[in-house]
Chain A
Amino acid sequence: MSLVIPQIDLSGLSIEDKKQNEFGALTSNEYRYKTISRQGKPLPDPIEDEPPYHVLFITYLNYLILIIVGHIKDFTGILFNPKNYQDLLEQNGLAPWYNKFESFYIRRMKQKIDDCFARPTCGVPGRLITCIDRDAHDYNSYFSYPGTTSTCLNLSSYNYLGFAQSEGACTQAALEILDYYGVGSGGPRNVIGTTDLHLKTEKTIAKFIGKDDSILFSMGYATNASLFSSLLDKKSLVISDELNHASIRTGVRLSGSTVKTFPHNNMIALEKILREQISQGQPRSHRPWKKIIVAVEGLYSMEGTMANLPALIELRRKYKFNLFVDEAHSIGAIGPSGRGVCDYFGIDPSNVDLLMGTLTKSFGAAGGYIAGSQQIINRLKLNINSQNYAESIPAPVLAQIISSLNIISGDLNPGEGSERLERIAFNSRYLRLGLQRLGFIVYGVDDSPVIPLLLFAPAKMPAFSRMLYQRKIAVVVVGYPATPLTSSRVRLCVSASLTKEDIDYLLRHLSEVGDKLFLKFSSGIAGGSLDGSPPRWNIEDVLKETPKDCKESKYFIATANN
């Protein structure tokens, strides 16, 4: 048995099987749904279901036990068995790489369930994903690899539109461009990294989004991390949603501007901060702020909630701030024509100053972009750090971006783009309503392809992940510190590449696992129930009724009265 992760050869598969594994063929035109634009109407405030008290109690108890046992083990371990704790102790006068306290959570909790994280995979992360099996030893301190694989239904990749493929128009384009342009990047964009293909991609993105121009970067994280220092200084203010992504927080910190955070999606709190900050101005000097940026995400990847764009642009009109929306998860995945939250809410993109997005997700490529007015993009071309110091996006990745964008907008393979859009919309709604009816607590907006299913107790994370892995379903479990302490969850990322039958399979297994792990404790206030009583449908009824019902918003109680 090897301690090195094996290289897997998947070439034995027939082309047809491979295609089917990457992107399941549509089984019926019934299983499509065209998202309806909200035409400027905001979403109602989401209702978050609370778990029963005993669940919260068990969750806290869970942590308490973990913490106490962890500390006792640390204490006795370092005392009696320092050899095993060398990484935490000073060595040859050097401080440990990380200290005992900082790493407590990781060592004492995360490591216990490390077999559920960072599962090595191979091949395309499409409809199915092939995970490389591993056996954990010594409480996950190391793994060995028997050389086998498990091909699982993929609910974990950000492959929203199913463009993670190694067959089809995008792959063909990428291969052709690779042949001609080579594999990598020539250097920073302003030195020698810009090709005609870069400009073409930027124009294509800008057109798709509905902005003057756009600018590309080789990494989504770095896009945010370097954006804000190019726009702001210490006389500026950023008002940021508390759940904004780490990249935004890094970027804002680097800019040196003042930061205020508002509770997630709370527009009343945001307005209060705006009034306070604009009237008070900068601290001490009380001079007016030079610039104010409100930073939000289009679709929050841990919550499945969306920015309240109609309310935000209303505020923007009133308070004259600049609006930044990170569309990492929403571009492509949301809206009647896949153009993100503006499209979804039926709002003209000119109401948002900076539309940022990543190409790693819906487009199956890599990198990030910022779309904005010509004035902004021209300035960024000269002074954003990534443009002057970081490598540009390699050409084959650009080919993937251009071709996937053209498919979505219908310029390439007409009909394919709308099928993808309608399938992800259907799949998201079907799975969400199905889960609600089964009695799970799920968060987020009806149309969100990210569906967080709440587990609460941290001990249920590994149980859930392992049980589903045995049933050949790959899911992502997340807990503290990525979520609040008490709301550990499974994050299901729906893809257009899944068939309706895949979701049936998924619902069946989730229902069984949910029963075994006592996860069905929704109260019905947040959807799935017709009469307000806790929904506990049986699985056969769910599978029978939901594909039809999920197309009608009245069954999603949370938004029914809208």
Chain B
Amino acid sequence: MNVTATTITTSTTTIALQDIWNTTSDVVSRYLFIILNYIELIPGGSILVRYIKSSHKNDPIRTLFEIALFIFAIRYFTTAKYERSKKDHIKLKNSEIDELIDDWMPEPLVLDISPKEQWQLNSIPIVKGPIDTKVNLVGEEGDFLNFASSNFLNFGINPIVKNECKKIIHSNGVGACGPPNFYGNQDIHIKLENDLAKFFEVGGAVLYGQDFCTAGSVLPSFLKRGDFVIADASSNVAIQKALQLSRCEIYWFNHNDLDHLEEILIDLQKNIFKFEKPISRKFIVTEGIFANKGDSPYLPRLIELKKKFKFRLFLDESLSLGVLGKSGKGLAEHYNIKRSEIDVTISSMANSFSSSGAFCIGDKVMTYHQRIGSMAYCFSASLPAYVARATSVALRLLTDSQDSQGESSIVKKLQSNNYQLFNLFNKDRKLSKYLKIISNEISPILHFEINSDLRKLLNFPISYTGKGSEIEYKNKKGISDKFVESFNYENLIFQKIINLSKKQGILITRSIFTIEQEALPLIPNLKIHSNVDFTKDEIEKVYKIVSKVILDVFENLTVESLSLLTEEVI
């Protein structure tokens, strides 16, 4: 059409152009149809032919243009990579290459543990025997009250669970010796999946071999390029890695700040989602009880937002199942929300359920898709059958402990222990001079961080990770030595508290993370884990001893004394 518009200008050229136009039109059409006849002979060619015919529409320029585009596209895809790398390529003679190879000296694969880090290796507790509320440690006398384990319901040493598991080893051996899709799927695993679906009233469940890799396998099986995720800015590393693998668009909302979440949602709705066709997959990603903070999001509002903006909700309930809700069904039950409202729930089986591995629950279509599309499910062996049975029995024990109101006596006991632990420390005014409790009262893990004023006095940065941090700089620059002095000190303070508590028979812990892997803001925490099997007295005892140790340590702490910590802790 453009052509005809330009032909109006002069009459002589018009005629000439008209001629050329007609002949090309003729030639193109004739050859085109000959080619098309051949194409039609290929199976499936008729679809192609129909497409070409409809696009041709007796407009040779358009056809030529499309052919040119087609050729260009092919050229682009076949040559682009080559040319790009070629431009960057320096031509070298063979002798020069040999010399460069001779000169090349790679860095060692890892750096030696420096004297300043050695304490970290030395302070890993080594348990002799079972991991119970009381443990023995290698190289230490006596037993210790174990306030460090996440086996909140202590099912791992329960005689009923043990007996059932022994039966399974008697009938199935230990390993499953194959991935689920290749004969590794035993009736025991299937029973657990059914038990989980029934317990949580959802369509299906899928088992995974390790808790940490579960998010990283579930999320990427649904989120592809062009999809959207809005995640809490204090999410755990497993989720961060999952999003890194997902190749989708990622937005972060301030920790538990659902107003901020809504703002982002409104913004995206206005600028992107309104124009989408077809619509993309969209997820809000958050945790039931945050591994890094011990607090929870306000679930009713999350559900409302996800419905309003047509998002799906992904919830990591690793630390809240068996802990929250009257029968231990997690954050959803805590807020009286049906599990089916949460599109994807994942949880570790190594915490409340005291076995190993993890699961993902949700509707049938979602779980079915994982059996084909989820990497850690398809490419890894099934869990040992007895491990699956351990969780099945734990679910049965939880169900059996319910009274007529559906309230579980086990979970109730744990919750009351959690409250007691929280309240004892929370009431203590003297402690709050140095430490702040950041976890909720419903959390089974008590998280302390050093007061921000005090941290400032000690010259600790606002965050060790995330934007503007030293570690981010090191990662960006590819500096191999990831040691951060102040981070080391802050951890040492907590380790000193841990060691002094241990001297008095109490085992507590701190946040242990791989700082260079964390991309979101984080500072170290001191942590005390609750357990259903602690008596009131034992909780009282941990409070008395630990609070005293905390005061002792902080009262004598100055910027100058930080450098002495390394020696004290070893």
Q: How far is A102 from B372 in the complex, measured between Cα atoms in Å?
A: 12
List residues of chain B with CB within 8 A of the CB of A180. 129-130
A539 close to chain B: CB less than 8 A: no
Bitwise interface map of A from 148 to 167 toward B, beta carbon under 8 Å scored 1, else 0: 00000010111100011110
Closest to B350 in A: A391
Query: Whole-angstrom distance from the CB of A197 to the nearest CB of chain B?
Result: 9
Closest to A86 in B: B365
Q: Is the CB of B191 within 8 A of A186?
A: no
B317 close to chain A: CB less than 8 A: no
B537 close to chain A: CB less than 8 A: no
B278 close to chain A: CB less than 8 A: yes
Q: How far is A273 from B476 in the complex, measured between Cα atoms in Å?
A: 26
Bitwise interface map of B from 213 to 246 toward A, beta carbon under 8 Å scored 1, else 0: 1001000001010010000000011100100110
Q: How far is A181 from B135 in the complex, measured between Cα atoms in Å?
A: 11
Partner of A156, one of B124, B166, B183, B513: B183
B328 close to chain A: CB less than 8 A: no
Q: Is the CB of B130 within 8 A of A121?
A: no
B460 close to chain A: CB less than 8 A: no
Q: How far is A150 from B345 in the complex, measured between Cα atoms in Å?
A: 35
A460 close to chain B: CB less than 8 A: no
Q: Is the CB of B513 within 8 A of A388?
A: yes
Given the contacts A90-B279, A174-B169, A390-B211, A182 and B131 also touching, CB distance less than 8 Å: yes
B555 close to chain A: CB less than 8 A: no
A191 close to chain B: CB less than 8 A: yes
Given the contacts A360-B177, A391-B211, A474 and B126 also touching, CB distance less than 8 Å: no
Q: Is the CB of A391 within 8 A of B149?
A: no
Q: How far is A236 from B157 in the complex, measured between Cα atoms in Å?
A: 45
Q: How far is A245 from B379 in the complex, measured between Cα atoms in Å?
A: 8
A1 close to chain B: CB less than 8 A: no
B327 close to chain A: CB less than 8 A: no
Partner of B121, one of A126, A131, A353, A381: A381
Specify which of B128, B186, B188, B282 lies most central, judged by the most chain A CB atoms within 10 Å of its CB: B186
Closest to B178 in A: A157
Q: How far is A122 from B475 in the complex, measured between Cα atoms in Å?
A: 48
Bitwise interface map of A from 377 to 389 toward B, beta carbon under 8 Å scored 1, else 0: 0111111111011
List residues of chain A with CB within 8 A of the CB of B172. 122-124, 166
A137 close to chain B: CB less than 8 A: no
Q: Is the CB of A131 within 8 A of B183?
A: yes
Given the contacts A8-B187, A221-B380, A291-B109, A389 and B375 also touching, CB distance less than 8 Å: no
Query: Whole-angstrom distance from the CB of B450 to the nearest CB of chain A?
Result: 20
A250 close to chain B: CB less than 8 A: yes
Query: Whole-angstrom distance from the CB of B105 to the nearest CB of chain A?
Result: 7
Q: Is the CB of A217 within 8 A of B210?
A: yes
Q: How far is A475 from B184 in the complex, measured between Cα atoms in Å?
A: 12
B-contacting residues, A190-221, CB 8 Å:
190-196, 198-199, 217-221
A-contacting residues, B191-211, CB 8 Å:
191, 194, 209-211
Closest to B168 in A: A166
A231 close to chain B: CB less than 8 A: yes
Q: Is the CB of B194 within 8 A of A4?
A: yes
Given the contacts A64-B44, A95-B278, A183 and B156 also touching, CB distance less than 8 Å: yes
Query: Whole-angstrom distance from the CB of B243 to the nearest CB of chain A?
Result: 11
Q: Is the CB of B125 within 8 A of A394?
A: no
Q: Is the CB of B104 within 8 A of A320?
A: yes
List residues of chain A with CB within 8 A of the CB of B171. 10-11, 123-124, 166
Interface segment, B10-18, B49-57, B112-120?
B112-120
List residues of chain A with CB within 8 A of the CB of B138. 196
Interface size bracket, A side: 35 or more
Determine the main DSSP class of B at the interface with A: loop
List residues of chain A with CB within 8 A of the CB of B92. 279
B348 close to chain A: CB less than 8 A: yes
Partner of A195, one of B127, B176, B371: B127
List residues of chain B with CB within 8 A of the CB of A245. 379
B88 close to chain A: CB less than 8 A: yes
Q: How far is A87 from B368 in the complex, measured between Cα atoms in Å?
A: 11
Given the contacts A179-B162, A474-B183, A187 and B379 also touching, CB distance less than 8 Å: no
Q: Is the CB of A184 within 8 A of B156?
A: yes
Q: Is the CB of B480 within 8 A of A98?
A: no
List residues of chain B with CB within 8 A of the CB of A320. 104-106
Query: Whole-angstrom distance from the CB of A73 to the nearest CB of chain B?
Result: 15
Query: Whole-angstrom distance from the CB of B163 to the nearest CB of chain A?
Result: 9
Closest to B381 in A: A360
Q: Is the CB of B107 within 8 A of A476?
A: no
Bitwise interface map of A from 111 to 131 toward B, beta carbon under 8 Å scored 1, else 0: 000000111111111100101
A409 close to chain B: CB less than 8 A: no
Q: Is the CB of B162 within 8 A of A195?
A: no
Given the contacts A93-B279, A360-B176, A129 and B183 also touching, CB distance less than 8 Å: yes
Q: Is the CB of B356 within 8 A of A391?
A: yes
Closest to B193 in A: A5
A361 close to chain B: CB less than 8 A: yes
Partner of B125, one of A94, A194, A385: A194
B383 close to chain A: CB less than 8 A: yes
Q: Is the CB of A254 within 8 A of B245?
A: yes
A92 close to chain B: CB less than 8 A: yes
Q: Is the CB of B366 within 8 A of A97?
A: yes
B-contacting residues, A2-20, CB 8 Å:
4-8, 10-11
Interface segment, A24-32, A281-289, A304-312?
A281-289
Q: How far is A178 from B379 in the complex, measured between Cα atoms in Å?
A: 28
Interface segment, B94-102, B256-264, B295-303?
B94-102
Partner of B236, one of A247, A283, A288, A389: A389
Q: Is the CB of A366 within 8 A of B97?
A: no
Query: Whole-angstrom distance from the CB of A361 to the nearest CB of chain B?
Result: 7
List residues of chain A with CB within 8 A of the CB of B174. 170-171, 174, 364-366, 396-397, 400
Query: Whole-angstrom distance from the CB of B406 to the nearest CB of chain A?
Result: 24
Query: Whole-angstrom distance from the CB of A332 to the nearest CB of chain B?
Result: 12
List residues of chain B with CB within 8 A of the CB of A450. none
Partner of B101, one of A119, A123, A278, A359: A278
Q: Is the CB of B280 within 8 A of A95?
A: yes
List residues of chain B with CB within 8 A of the CB of A129. 183
List residues of chain B with CB within 8 A of the CB of A156. 178, 182-183
Q: How far is A378 from B349 in the complex, measured between Cα atoms in Å?
A: 28
A376 close to chain B: CB less than 8 A: yes
B90 close to chain A: CB less than 8 A: yes
Q: How far is A193 from B348 in the complex, measured between Cα atoms in Å?
A: 14
List residues of chain A with CB within 8 A of the CB of B75. none
Q: Is the CB of A192 within 8 A of B127?
A: yes
B478 close to chain A: CB less than 8 A: yes
B146 close to chain A: CB less than 8 A: yes
Bitwise interface map of A from 256 to 280 toward B, beta carbon under 8 Å scored 1, else 0: 0000000000000000000100111
Given the contacts A192-B127, A366-B175, A379-B113, A291 and B237 also touching, CB distance less than 8 Å: no
Q: Is the CB of A118 within 8 A of B185?
A: yes
List residues of chain B with CB within 8 A of the CB of A103. 369
Q: Is the CB of A383 within 8 A of B516?
A: yes
Q: Is the CB of B130 within 8 A of A397?
A: no
A229 close to chain B: CB less than 8 A: yes
B413 close to chain A: CB less than 8 A: no
Interface pairs A-B: 3 shortest CB-CB? A186-B131, A391-B350, A390-B212
Known contacts A67-B44, A375-B108; 17 further A-B pairs (Cβ under 8 A)? A4-B194, A10-B171, A92-B310, A97-B366, A129-B183, A171-B173, A175-B166, A175-B170, A178-B169, A184-B354, A185-B156, A186-B156, A221-B210, A289-B104, A365-B174, A366-B175, A378-B113
Q: List 12 interface pairs A-B (beta carbons < 8 Å), by A numbering.
A: A7-B191, A95-B279, A120-B185, A121-B185, A183-B161, A185-B156, A185-B350, A191-B148, A219-B209, A221-B209, A361-B381, A394-B384
Interface of A toward B, CB cutoff 8 Å: 4-8, 10-11, 22, 64, 67-68, 87, 90, 92-95, 97-98, 102-103, 106, 110, 117-126, 129, 131-132, 154, 156-159, 163-166, 170-171, 174-175, 178-196, 198-199, 217-222, 225-226, 229-231, 233-235, 245-247, 250, 253-254, 275, 278-280, 283-284, 286, 288-293, 318-322, 353-354, 358-361, 363-366, 375-376, 378-386, 388-391, 393-397, 400, 474, 476
